[in-house]
Amino acid sequence: MLAGRAGEMICLGIESTADDFSVGVVRSDGTIMSNVVDAFSSPDGGIHPREAARHHSEVAGLVLRRALDVAGVGMDEVDVIAFSQGPGMGPCLRTGATVARALASYFRKPLVGVNHCVAHVEIGRLVCELEDPLTLYVSGGNTLVTAYEGGRYRVFGETLDIPVGNCLDVFAREAGLRPGPGRPLGALVEELARGGRELVPLPYVVKGMDLSFSGLLTAALRLLRSGRYRLEDLCFSLQEVAFSMLAEVTERALAHTEKEELLLTGGVAANGRLRSMLAQVAEEHGARFAVVPKELALDNGAMIAWTGLLAYRHGLITPVEESYVRPRWRIDEAPVPWRSSG
């Protein structure tokens, strides 16, 4: 069977920055041939890099096999191997990088290290059919407002301490909520928030274009422990304050950059309240608003494969000796030559 088409290339992408191990297979015409994710879930919903890394090495073979099977290709038809090189948790990143290096060396394929945050933006541009968006990427590990300007993805706002998803998760865990399959902690906060009636005062901290969520979390936890408020009201207030902060920074970035598109992605993008606040921001600025579909907004191998293809086609290859992981690799340090050439 011929899975590739004349002139088309196929890339296999490996994602392992945090709790998910994922392999995706993507063709250069933008077809997502497969995107298989295996999530590590700790019983308490907490972050455990070493345990997650062990999970990744245990499932890597199976996930890889399934991704190739679903795509209907063999390794001989894969042209490029891409992997998430950073930012992320060291032990998790190293597991994915090791698998990628082994595949590239054994099958003699070019290797491409991809910036995880760039990949979130690029898969969003692909599936939402956007040209040049301002992006808000919000997850358990990241809080970032970014747009392409002057040859790079520039940072127009970011958290100075904890990511917004982590803020929601820690609060939820302390409130005794337990995550389940398909029910992440943030979604449980959202559910409870729907029953909120009272806006409890909580610290709203925006410094210039940057955000701080740790004071907000500490204050919310103090009120939780005081027992004076309904949990629904606290969830509601936490969301209102945290998301208003995000909306404010996003709005200013939109005004500053004059981008005509606004893209929302990451795990927290599933939140209906955040979506509606940002839809309003976009509307007020005459910008088109798009939310990345869930399976591609969460961490996934397809976004790494797609970005790996863009990079490879613009001459970027990562020699094995330079394929060390980069846990703190900022989005504005990543080369994106495909953006300048359209």
**Which residues contact Fe ion by CB under 5 A?**
139, 299
250 binds, among ligand ATP, Fe ion, none (CB under 5 to 8 A by kind): none
Residue 83 β-bridge partners: 14, 113
Task: Tell me which residue of 133, 202, 197, 145 sits closest to 168, measured CA to CA.
Answer: 202
Of 87 and 109, which has the nearer Cβ to ligand ATP?
87
Q: Give the angle 220-172-196 at the CA atoms, nearest 5°.
A: 65
Residues 122-161 that bind ligand ATP (CB under 6 A): 139-142
Binder among 266, 291, 306, 336 for ligand ATP (CB under 6 A): 266
Q: How far apart are CA 301 and CA 298, in angstroms?
A: 10
What's the CA gap between 191 and 171, in Å, rounded?
A: 14
Bridge partners, 148 (sequence order): 153
Q: Minimum distance from CB of 265 to ligand ATP (Å)? A: 8
Element (H, E) at 55: helix 49-71
Residue 320 pairs with which residues in a beta bridge?
none
Q: CA–CA separation, 16 vs 265, rounded Å? A: 18
For residues 177 to 216, the per-residue mask of contacts with ligand ATP, x marking binding by CB under 6 A and - elsewhere, is -------xxxx--x--------------------------
Q: Cα 232–299–181 angle (5° rounding)?
A: 50
Residue 270 binding partner per list ligand ATP, Fe ion, none, with a CB distance cut-off of 5 to 8 Å that depends on partner kind: ligand ATP
Please state the closest distance from residue 186 (CB atom) to ligand ATP, in A. 2
User: Which residues, 297 to 316, sit near ligand ATP by CB under 6 A?
Assistant: 298-299
Query: Which residue's CB is nearer to ligand ATP, number 28 or number 239?
Result: 239
Query: In the complex, what is the shortest distance from the CB of residue 34 to ligand ATP, in angstroms, rounded to a whole number?
Result: 19
Identity of the residue, 3 or 39, whose beta carbon is nearer to ligand ATP in the bound complex: 39
Q: How many residues bind ligand ATP (CB under 6 A)?
A: 23
Give least dist CB 259 to Fe ion, A: 21
- DSSP structural state of residue 159: B
Q: Specify whether the CB–CB gap between 236 and 199 falls below 8 A.
A: yes
- Residue 17 binds ligand ATP, judged by CB under 6 A: yes
Nearest approach in angstroms of CB 303 to Fe ion is 8
- Binding to ligand ATP (CB under 6 A): which residues in 78-97? 88
Residue 210 CA to residue 193 CA, distance in Å, equals: 25
Which residues have a Cβ under 8 Å from the Cβ of 16 and sit 6 or more positions away? 22, 53, 56, 83, 84, 88, 92, 93, 95, 96, 97, 99
* Stretch in the footprint of ligand ATP (CB under 6 A) among 2-10, 75-83, 92-100, 165-173: 165-173
Task: Provide the binding-site residues for ligand ATP, judged by CB under 6 A.
Answer: 17-19, 88, 139-142, 165, 168-169, 184-187, 190, 266-268, 270-271, 298-299
